[in-house]
Amino acid sequence: MVPRYLINFDLNEIKKKSFDFIVVGSGAAGLTAALELGQQGQVALLTKGEVKESNTKYAQGGVAATFSPEDRTRFHYRDTLLAGDGLCNPKAVKTLVEEGPTVIKRLIEEGAKFDRKKGKVALTKEGGHSHRRVLHAGGDATGRELSDFLIYNSLYNKNIEIFENTFAVDLISDENGVYGLLAYDKLKGEYLLYLAKAVVLATGGIGQLYKNTSNPQLATGDGVAMAYRAGAEVMDMEFIQFHPTTLALEGANNFLLSEALRGEGGILRNSKGEIFMDRYHPLKELAPRDIVARAIYHQMEKEGSSNLYLDLSHLDNDFIKGRFPTIYNKCLSLGLDISKDQIPITPAAHYFMGGIKVDLFGRSSLKGLFACGEAASFGLHGANRLASNSLLETLVYGERVAKGALDYTKKAKIRWARLDLNLRKDIGDNICFKDIREELQGLTEEKLGIIRSKEGLKEALDKLEDLLAILEKDLRKVEGFELQNLITLAYLITKGALMREESRGAHYRLDFNKSKERWKRHIVMKLEQRWEELKVEFE
């Protein structure tokens, strides 16, 4: 039902560019991988917008790593497993927490800047963490600072060629593996074939699948959908994290309100001004995100309100302005002074725990295809990601994926001359991308949100199976490709959510509201197949 390719093309008629490696995505994961690969060969770094645009840029909270004398990597390991609700890959978590501090220290030595207090790296605490271990930069602009640092280094690496406004449409592969990808140059209006010994997908998350999301417009899950079409295994598709606190102001986007706001003492209140988190979890505002998001959802449903409130008014004004300048100024531009006014908040789609199934060096089930960042599923985050582990993941696993790709290319035998593909599909004229996308977002918001049910998921699946017909058309526009990718992802997420008959982490079902021991396993899907898989490495 999901076709192998999205467009009509004849490889013999398309201009070709050859590199040692291709990296798709200019977030921290893609940039880290490109910088490592650029030490050994020629890298094509493709990004569908400007290089500075990525999910990384909008990350506020920070990077979680063991830096405090009171903290230990085993504590970070334990906190991550607890947040993951029994579904984390312990080996992936162990790698993250043990290698993380070394990677951060090396970045600092290379010139990366993090906020300091009394000469030492400043640390904050966020939900689910037992210790203060979150490094931050620019107050609440950690993602932007990290992104700028990595972009600067990439621009001055002569082995990295950056192709902006270049949309990766489909992987090119045969039974022997992946050879490259077909891409569309949005400015020139032409298709190009990028050939390489290894392809790394670091295309970010899927937030635009939902009407309410903290993610930017570019987060349409292109890499995951593309890999699935090529026959790669995908895993944990049903697990989508909803951030508890995004701005709920009429006329404004769901601007992210960092977890660090609660880490520094922010309090959640209902529409009556009452504190309520003590009814849901002993850690109150600092409980894991899935618990806080469901608590807020429950309160909103109980009150019939469209939002609740985050209160910082009891904190020092100067501290708020200095620690959270991005959030303070953004809210002030919208008429809110967060040092005085209660902030209207609502949960919104934030992070995708699922993705392309990979091992600890980013190797997918297809030879030559690697993935890292939010597009990849290492089993690291389990059913629910611990706050600020995502930026750390991009750095640690960005490096490891590069090592995996380098190792592969030393042994791989690439025979590009064997590629011979000519495809013809019907042209999809008169399809209104905007209307269908809005319909899809309404469907996912209602049926694939924080609370799910068998009835709702079945309704969603029926509608999505109808929408799959759109995948059979050549839509010839980037907006169309994004829509096709989102439909594919929604279909896979719904199938996974229906199959998982329990509640675990970010996946909550009204009809199966408890976790079950027999479901302490990962759902793996492949084109035209689906099965459950439990491997030794996840035990």
Q: Is 312:266 a contact under the CB 8 Å cutoff?
A: yes
Q: What single string gives the DSSP state of each residue in 439-499?
A: HHHHHHHHHSSSSB-HHHHHHHHHHHHHHGGGGGEE--SHHHHHHHHHHHHHHHHHHHHHH
CA atoms in the 13 A half-sphere facing the CB of 34: 33
Q: In the sheet that 123-124 helps form, which strands lie side by side, from edge to edge?
A: 63-64, 134-135, 123-124
Instruction: Give the start-to-end residue ranges of the domains of the chain.
Output: 9-239+353-414, 245-348, 426-515
CA distance 379 to 366: 18
- Look up residue 23 and give its two tokens: 């990296």
Quickly list H helices, 311-453: 317-323, 325-333, 389-411, 433-447
Burial of 341 (0-12, 13-18, 19+ CB in 10 A): middle
DSSP 8-state code for residue 50: -
Write the CATH number of the domain with boundaries 426-515. Answer: 1.20.58.100
Whole-angstrom distance between the N-terminal and C-terminal Cα of the chain?
Answer: 33
Question: Rounded to whole angstroms, what are the CA distances from 79 to 84, 98, 125, 385?
Answer: 9, 14, 12, 10
Residue whose entry in the numeric block shows the structure tokens 């509201």: 513
Rounded to 5°, the CA angle 474-479-483 comes to: 75
Q: How far apart are CA 89 and CA 381, in angstroms?
A: 8
* Cα–Cα separations (whole angstroms), residue 461 to 46, 295, 457, 465: 33, 27, 6, 6
**289 catalytically annotated:** yes
Give residue-wise pLDDT tens across range 46-77: 999 999 988 888 888 899 999 999 999 999 99
Q: What phi-psi label fits residue 281: left (phi over 0), alpha (psi between -120 and 50 degrees) or beta? A: beta
pTM equals 0.94
CA torsion sign for 140, 145, 146, 148 is positive
Read off the DSSP letter of residue 210: S
In degrees and rounded to multiples of 5, residue 283 shows phi and psi of -85, 0
Amino acid 140: pLDDT: 83
Choice among 262, 289, 294, 323 that is catalytic: 289
Q: For position 69, what pLDDT does the model report?
A: 92
Amino acid at 40: Q
Query: Which pLDDT belongs to residue 54?
Result: 87
| pLDDT score for 83 | 94
490: CB partners within 8 A, 6+ apart: 209, 440, 443, 444, 448, 460, 464, 467
CATH architecture label of 9-239+353-414: 3-Layer(bba) Sandwich (3.50)
Residue listed under structure tokens 């991009």: 394
Q: Is 52 exposed, middle or buried (0-12, 13-18, 19+ CB in 10 A)?
A: middle
Whether 197 and 368 have beta carbons less than 8 Å apart is answered as yes
Taking the C-alpha atoms of residue 426 and residue 7, their distance in angstroms, rounded to an integer, is 9
- Residue ranges of the chain with per-residue pLDDT less than 50: 534-539
Token pair in block for residue 388: 């600020």
Helices (H), 111-183: 142-155
What percentage of the chain carries pLDDT values higher than 70? 96
What pLDDT was estimated at residue 507? 97
Beta bridge partners of 194: 17, 181
Residue 4 contacts residue 121 (beta carbons within 8 Å): no
- Which residue has 């993935």 as its token pair? 371
Q: State the virtual CA torsion across 185, 189, 193, 197 in degrees, nearest 10.
A: 0
Q: What is the pLDDT of residue 252?
A: 84
Which among 171, 244, 243, 258 has a CA at the least distance from the CA of 207? 243
Give the orientation angle of helix 454-467 with respect to helix 478-499, to 10 degrees: 150
Q: Which two tokens stand for residue 218?
A: 């570019």
- CB of 404 closer than 8 Å to CB of 361: yes
pLDDT at 537: 37
User: 3-class SS at 284?
Assistant: helix
4, 127, 159, 306, 369 from 359: Cα distances, Å:
24, 28, 27, 41, 12
Dihedral Cα 156, 158, 163, 164, nearest 10 deg:
10
DSSP-assigned letter for residue 12: G
Rounded Cα distance between 319 and 315, Å, is: 7
Residue at token pair 């590069």: 402
H-helix or E-strand spanning residue 174: strand 166-174
Provide the 8-state DSSP code for 154: H
Predicted local confidence at residue 240, as pLDDT: 97
- In this structure, which CATH number among 3.90.76.10, 3.90.700.10, 3.30.565.60, 3.40.50.2020 belongs to the domain 245-348? 3.90.700.10
| Maximum separation of any 2 CA atoms in the chain, in Å | 69
How many residues belong to the chain?
A: 539
